[in-house]
Amino acid sequence: MSLFNLKNKSILITGSSRGIGKSIACQCAEHGASVIISSRKEKMCKLTAEEINNSIGSEVAFSIPANISDEVQLEGLVNKTRELIGKIDVLICNAATNPFMGSMLDMPTEKFDKVMNNNIKSNQILCNLVLPEMIEREDGSIIIISSIAAIKGSPILGAYNISKAADVMIVKNIAAEFGHKNIRANSIAPGLIKTDFAKALWENPEILKTVLSSTPMQRIGEPDEIAGVAVMLASEAGNYINGQTIVVDGGTTIS
């Protein structure tokens, strides 16, 4: 059996109808898992689930739309996941928002609150919802998609950076408190990845030039390059990795 085998694993992935989340869902399914596709738009969730099921040749992906800003919908997401696939072996918090680029001095309070609510609070709520069954089972993996924004300052992404740094600490706290129950919690910190979410960055010639000038690999990343790390952390291959942040940035942060 491969160390990366996910057969009989049930995985809930937020923000998984496109971009990094979709790639993670596809790769987890390819490695044998049942996956929940979740984002705000029901149509996109259904299309992604159908695409994965057609690719695999069996029903392994299921659609449950939910808005991460709504605690009631998060509770419903977890409950419906259990109804559809029985359990949650792995939680992958990928959904996030960034409604503002510019100086922190100019950021409206409501947009700051939205970033903190969607990028931090929703992840903590989801973790708290799935932890009890993981504790009872004495097995589970939680993965939060953070960012290299968690470890670098920015003149235009201040609130987003703050939120991603908090995500790093969420997994450290979970690892410290529940590691003795065989629960692993880790974050992945991507660099600039070619997704719609980051389009405003990689389509901006000046920003792209700056990023590439400090990236030894001289290119931005692809969603599958994050998905591979998620598969590792979800599988037996990641069994002794706990409380860590794995940077996947082509070397940007070492320059």
- Known catalytic residues are 160
Rounded to whole angstroms, the Cα distance separating 119 from 68 reads: 9
Distance of CA 175 to CAs 50, 52, 180, 186, Å?
A: 35, 31, 9, 8
DSSP state at residue 102: B
Residue at 91: amino acid letter: L
Query: Quick one: tokens of 241?
Result: 């990795």
Q: Which of 154, 147, 231 is nearest to 193 (CA)?
A: 147
- Reduce the DSSP state of residue 7 to 3 states and report it: coil
Give CA torsion, residues 172, 85, 235, 25, to 10 deg.
-90
- Distance separating alpha carbons of residues 134 and 210, to the nearest angstrom: 43
**Hey, what amino acid is at 36?**
I
Beta strands in the chain (DSSP E): 10-14, 34-38, 61-63, 90-93, 140-145, 183-190, 245-248
